[in-house]
């Protein structure tokens, strides 16, 4: 069947096909970086027991996150530059903004070197934040638990104190 198609016609047809495929699947650099940031936030939250996913409809929030009975709407801002521009963010409805600082060159992104900072909406008091000013907001277990209303059941005790308390339960001191 291919023998009946002229090579010039086949090349033109394939050229149009590849051209259309490229347009249909093309995403901007901004969308690519933003999507990587959203996926990284969802992945890191999952490490701390928080389920996060984009809403079914584009309702203005990037992620909806849940831990236990606590739900949070999250805006994600991702950059490869040394600062985040948050101007206009206060008009949006959300609970937490996740600021993602991606580390990498071109299309190579080093996820383990990239950093995530979590701020509550009421903690945003300026439009530009430099990465070096955000260390207190870096994502870790304590920060995630605080933002999702989880409090530790008891303060950590040294193992020797726990053993001593257990020993007293087993063999109470005699007076």
Residue 106: the pLDDT is 76
**What stretch of H or E contains 106?**
none
Residues 6+ apart with CB under 8 A from 64: 52, 53, 54, 55, 71, 72, 73, 74
CA dihedral 148→149→150→154, nearest 10 degrees, is 150
* Alpha helix (H) residue ranges in 26-140: 29-47
CATH architecture of 28-151: 3-Layer(aba) Sandwich (3.40)
Q: How confident is the prediction along the chain (175 residues), in pLDDT tens digits per residue?
A: 545 655 556 555 655 555 555 667 788 889 989 999 999 999 999 999 999 999 998 888 999 999 999 999 999 999 999 999 999 888 899 999 999 999 988 778 899 999 999 999 999 999 999 999 999 999 999 999 999 987 655 555 555 666 666 666 666 555 5
Residue 8: the pLDDT is 56
Q: Which of these, 86, 95, 104, 101, lies nearest to 148 by C-alpha position?
A: 95
Domain boundaries, the chain: 28-151
């Amino acid at each position: 069947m291919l023998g009946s198609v002229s090579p010039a016609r086949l090349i033109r047809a394939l050229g149009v096909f590849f051209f259309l495929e490229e347009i249909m699947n093309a995403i901007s650099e901004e969308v690519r970086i933003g999507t990587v940031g959203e996926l990284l936030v969802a992945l890191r939250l999952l490490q701390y027991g928080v389920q996060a996913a984009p809403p079914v409809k584009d309702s203005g929030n990037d992620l909806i996150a849940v831990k236990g009975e606590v739900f949070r709407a999250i805006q994600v801002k991702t950059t490869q530059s040394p600062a985040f521009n948050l101007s206009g963010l206060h008009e949006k409805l959300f609970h937490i903004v996740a600021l993602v600082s991606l580390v990498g060159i071109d299309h190579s992104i080093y996820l383990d070197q990239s950093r995530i900072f979590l701020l509550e909406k009421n903690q945003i008091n300026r439009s530009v934040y430099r990465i070096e000013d955000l260390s207190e907001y870096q994502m870790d277990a304590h920060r995630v638990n605080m933002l999702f209303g989880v409090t530790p059941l008891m303060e950590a005790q040294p193992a020797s104190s726990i053993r001593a308390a257990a020993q007293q339960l087993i063999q109470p001191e005699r007076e």
